[in-house]
Amino acid sequence: MEPLTAFAARLKALRRQKKQTQKDMAALLGCTVSNYQKIEYGQVNIPITTLIALADYFGVTTDYLLGRSEE
């Protein structure tokens, strides 16, 4: 699985586990819903600070989000 595909799948699954909408996540990250959707669909690269913020929010490692680890 390529990195953005793994990232997109894990991000979507984590968001659903927390019962958050894409609108909720866009507000958390300070971006538009459209931009968040592109992140979740693996269509854009994100800044490292956004990656860290997402990992912290979901309580996972950046490696997990990127599909480099199963933990």
User: For residue 44, which of 30, 56, 34, 55 has the smallest C-alpha distance?
Assistant: 34
Mean pLDDT, the chain, as a whole number? 94
Say how far apart CA 63 and CA 24 lie, in whole Å: 23
Alpha carbons 52 and 62: distance in angstroms, whole number: 6
pLDDT at 3: 65
Domains of the chain: 3-65 (1.10.260.40)
Q: Is the pLDDT of residue 27 over 90?
A: yes
Q: What is the pLDDT of residue 71?
A: 78
* pTM (2 d.p.): 0.89
CA 1 to chain CA centroid, nearest Å: 16
